[in-house]
Structure 1
Amino acid sequence: MKTWFQLADRQHRGFIDDKELQIFLSTDDRIFSLRTVHLLMYDITNTNIRKLGIKEFSALVHSIMNWKEIFERVDRNRSRNIDSSKLQEALLTLGCTVPPVILDLLVSNFAESGGDKKTIEYDSFIGCCLTVKRLQEKLREKDTNHNGSATFTCESFISTVLYLL
């Protein structure tokens, strides 16, 4: 892990910023979006500070390995894209139930071509799942009656979803 961290820390500052992480995660044929990088960093640090030390970097690498395993499990034809039914399957493994109409909206929102394609690629899949997972966690926190319903003030709602935009 230390070797990977040193490779990612291109400026040798002892931490990795979002741009360095984006370069580290990208491959010759696929560039990770900054949107997904930011969601990953937030998921690990629970802050909008866009710097990772080796401890956070290690947790992020393990998280990405888990995401890759889930993606590969649902991408059975190895097309490197998944549609809404495969996304639903992946989200179910995370304990997230999402209605079909929302699944279609998610795929349109996270599709690389701005919604023209009906599939999403690996890095967008991670961003999509992190978004749904975090939103459902916040909903559960506010669902005090455990009936699938929650009440938010405008300020509370905006602060809950703002980092996801």
Structure 2
Amino acid sequence: MSYGYNPQYGGQAPPGHHAGGFAPPPQQQGPPPGSDPQLWQWFQAVDTDRSNHISANELQQALVNGDWSPFDLDTVKLLMTIFDTDRSGTVTFNEFSGLWRYIKDWQNVFRHFDKDKSGSIDGHELANALGQFGFNLSPQALQLVERKYATAPTGGYGPPPGITFDRFVRCCVVIKQLTESFQRLDTQHSGWIQLNYDQFMQTVLAAP
């Protein structure tokens, strides 16, 4: 499995694209009894203030995309809300273990749908991914998703270069959450509330 690189930890970045994820940790000693030594090394590397809890800012410093860019803070905060089960505002080692496996699984998903191995997800790849996940969005809604989550053009010129790993994860998680919210409102399972499913998705996705 390939991991992202963060210059903060020293060393040389390997060439080419990868899915993104955690940057390689420095060598650490003394994992807790019964824990995965490699996973404990990751946790120690991310926990820069040695508090035994990881904050959103610490986590952001340790997560990189396939082009070595840092994760968006919005994505990091979303991951924190999923795995901060005690609602402390930080992630413990046990919570971190779940987050690590989650990102590892998403790396495999990202590689599967990044058919051209470009290191980002384009519109066609996004439509394929969301369709296989069971999210039946119209072309108009898909365009909104692509515009909302694509990385801004370099220098502000030209079309967006695609959706990076971190934004792809956030995109899929948000659409899943929105779909589940709609389904809870759609008590008759008709595909309609006062708006139909696609209108609901377009209304929410168009929001800033």
Q: TM-score, normalised by structure 2?
A: 0.66
Instruction: Give unmatched runs, 5+ long, in structure 2.
Output: 1-38, 196-203
| Corresponding position: 1:107 with 2:146 | yes
Return the alpha-carbon distance in structure 1 between the equivalents of residues 140 and 165 of structure 2: 21
- The Cα of 1:45 is off from its aligned counterpart by 3.5
Equivalent of 1:143, from 149, 169, 186? 186
Letter in 2 for 1:21: L
Structure 1 residues 19 and 46: alpha-carbon distance in aligned structure 2, compared to 1, 3 A threshold: same
Q: Which residue of structure 2 aligns with residue 62 of structure 1?
A: 101
Q: 117, 123, 129: which is aligned to 1:78?
A: 117
* RMSD of Structure 2 on Structure 1 (CA): 2.7
Match of 1:157 in 2: none
* Structure with the higher fraction of residues in helix conformation: 1
Rounded to whole Å, the distance in 1 between the matches of 2:109 and 2:167 is 13
Paired residue secondary structure (2:51):
coil
Q: Decide whether the 8 Å contact of 1:6 with 1:12 is kept in 2.
A: yes
Distance 1:129 1:111, change over 3 A: same
8 A contact 2:115–2:125 mirrored in 1 = no
Change (3 A) 1:46 1:22: same
TM-score with structure 1 setting the length: 0.82
**Does structure 1 conserve the Cα–Cα contact (< 8 Å) formed by 2:85 and 2:95?**
no
Please give the residue correspondences for 1:16-165 in structure 2 after superposition, counting only pairs within 5 Å: 16-26=54-64, 29-45=68-84, 50-113=89-152, 116-117=159-160, 119-150=162-193
Larger displacement relative to structure 2 (64-73 or 81-90): 81-90
The 3-state SS of whatever aligns with 1:26 is: strand
Answer whether contact 1:108 1:118 (CA < 8 A) is retained: no
> What is the CA distance between 1:116 and its match in structure 2?
3.7
Give 2:168's aligned amino acid: F
Query: Aligned AA for 1:17?
Result: S
User: Structure 1 76/51 Cα, relative in aligned 2: closer, same or farther at 3 Å?
Assistant: same
Measured at CA, do residues 47 and 107 of structure 1 come closer, stay the same or move farther in structure 2, by a change above 3 Å?
Answer: farther
Could you say which structure has the larger radius of gyration?
2
* C-alpha distance in structure 1 between counterparts of 2:97 and 2:136, whole Å: 29
User: Is the 8 Å Cα contact of residues 108 and 116 (structure 1) preserved in structure 2?
Assistant: no
Q: Deviations over 1:106-161 (max 9, x none)?
A: 11111111794162111111111111111111111222111122369xxxxxxxx7
Question: Which ranges of 4 or more aligned residues in structure 1 deviate by more than 3 Å?
Answer: 45-50
For structure 1, the residue ranges without an aligned partner over 5 or more in a row are 153-160
Q: Tell me, yes or no, if the aligned pair for 1:32 and 1:123 is still in contact at 8 Å.
A: yes
For the structure 1 residues 44 and 72, does the alpha-carbon distance in structure 2 shift closer, same or farther, using more than 3 Å as the test? same
- Superimposed CA distance per residue, residues 69-90 of structure 1 (whole angstroms, 9 cap, x where no aligned partner): 1111011211011112211222
Question: What letter is aligned with 1:107?
Answer: E
Mean CA deviation greater in 118-127 or 70-79: 118-127
CA 1:31/1:59 → structure 2, altered by over 3 Å: closer, same or farther? same
